[in-house]
């Protein structure tokens, strides 16, 4: 194509060149479209596309702003794609997660703070095999997120977060509930938290590998 895609590229270049920085406000639609030499309609298409992947933030009645442009961008972009691949090749996506999650936990083991360890403990409080699925999913998400955050790499955190979308997580925990495997899975969480507290990185890595692989094989059989 041409005009609209050129506009996307030009905006991207303005970002790369530092002409536009995070938090900056873009010129009004009319002015920017004149400057880039296209119509408002076409410019709006470009802006909309950049808004979908969270590069721009459009505030009605106010203006269009550049987002923080941090690692969370990865999350948005990947999550959208992952959501579309739900039934199809979840297992391949899971294989990626099986690589990343233990490595992340390994890194986290040597960096995690006592505050984060406390958070991890709090995340498990009040969660047992009688907790309803919705809350279990929230717990699971938080548990893994605290660990990935402790690894100190925002991209890793975003990627892991996006790779197992909440839809997949919900399905898994629903399945675990039916199979009465919730207690077992929660025990794995507990073991991981304990090993993290002791700073035993190798054990953490092994436990996480077992944990993820367990879920993976459950998923494989469930499909």
Partner DNA sequence: TAGCGGGGATTCATCCGATGTTTGCGGTGT
Partner DNA sequence: ACACCGCAAACATCGGATGAATCCCCGCTA
Summarize as ranges the residues that interact with DNA (CB under 7 A): 1-4, 26, 28-30, 37-42, 44, 58-64
- 18 alpha-carbon distance from chain centroid: 27
Task: Report whether 110 contacts 201 (CB < 8 A).
Answer: yes
* Other Cβ atoms closer than 10 A to 100: 17
Q: Considering beta carbons, is residue 8 or 197 the nearer one to DNA?
A: 8
Cβ 69 to DNA shortest distance, Å: 18
Radius of gyration of the chain (CA): 21
Q: What is the dihedral of CA 156, 159, 164, 166, to 10 degrees?
A: 110
Question: How many whole angstroms from its chain centre is CA 207?
Answer: 22
Q: Whole-number minimum distance, CB 183 to DNA, in Å?
A: 46
Main-chain dihedrals φ then ψ at residue 55, nearest 5 degrees: -85, -35
Instruction: Pick one of a second copy, DNA, none as the site partner of residue 30 (Cβ within 5 to 8 A by kind).
Output: DNA
From the CB of 80, what's the least distance to DNA, in Å?
Answer: 19
Is 108 within 8 Å of 189 (Cβ atoms)?
no
- For the chain, helix (H) and strand (E) counts, in that order, are 11, 2
Binding positions for a second copy, rule: CB under 8 A: 1, 4, 8, 12, 15-16, 41, 44-46, 48-53, 55, 58, 60, 69, 71, 73-74, 77-78, 80-81, 83-86, 88-89, 92-93, 95-96, 99-100, 103-104, 153-156, 159
Smallest distance from a second copy to CB 123, Å? 24
Instruction: Give the shortest CB-187-to-a second copy separation in angstroms.
Output: 27
Nearest CB to DNA, comparing residues 28 and 199: 28
Between 38 and 93, name the residue whose CB sits nearer to DNA.
38
* Residues 6 or more apart whose Cβ sits within 8 Å of residue 145: 157, 160, 161
By beta-carbon proximity to DNA, the closer residue of 62 and 125 is: 62
Query: Pick from DNA, a second copy, none: which does 119 bind, CB < 5 to 8 A by kind?
Result: none
Q: Which DSSP helix (H) or strand (E) runs through 66?
A: strand 63-66
For residue 35, the partner it binds in a second copy, DNA, none, with Cβ less than 5 to 8 A by kind, is none
């Amino acid at each position: 194509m041409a005009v609209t895609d050129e506009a996307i590229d030009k905006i991207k270049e303005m970002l790369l060149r530092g002409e536009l920085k995070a938090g900056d406000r873009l010129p009004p639609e009319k002015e920017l479209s004149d400057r880039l030499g296209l119509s408002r309609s076409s410019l709006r298409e470009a802006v909309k596309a950049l808004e979908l992947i969270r590069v721009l933030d459009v505030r009605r009645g106010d203006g269009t702003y550049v987002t923080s442009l941090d690692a969370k961008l990865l999350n948005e972009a990947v999550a959208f794609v992952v959501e579309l691949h739900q039934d199809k090749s979840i297992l391949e996506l899971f294989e990626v997660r099986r690589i990343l999650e233990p490595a992340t936990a390994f890194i986290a083991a040597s960096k995690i703070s006592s505050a984060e360890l406390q958070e991890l403990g709090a995340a498990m409080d009040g969660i047992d095999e009688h907790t309803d699925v919705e809350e279990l999913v929230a717990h699971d998400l938080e548990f893994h997120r605290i660990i990935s955050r402790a690894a100190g790499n925002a991209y890793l955190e975003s990627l892991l977060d996006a790779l197992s979308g909440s839809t997949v997580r919900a399905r898994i925990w629903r399945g675990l509930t039916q199979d009465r495997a919730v207690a077992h899975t929660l025990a794995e969480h507990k073991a991981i938290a304990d090993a993290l507290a002791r700073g035993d990185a190798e054990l953490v890595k092994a436990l996480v590998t077992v944990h993820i692989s367990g879920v993976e094989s459950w998923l494989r059989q469930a499909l």
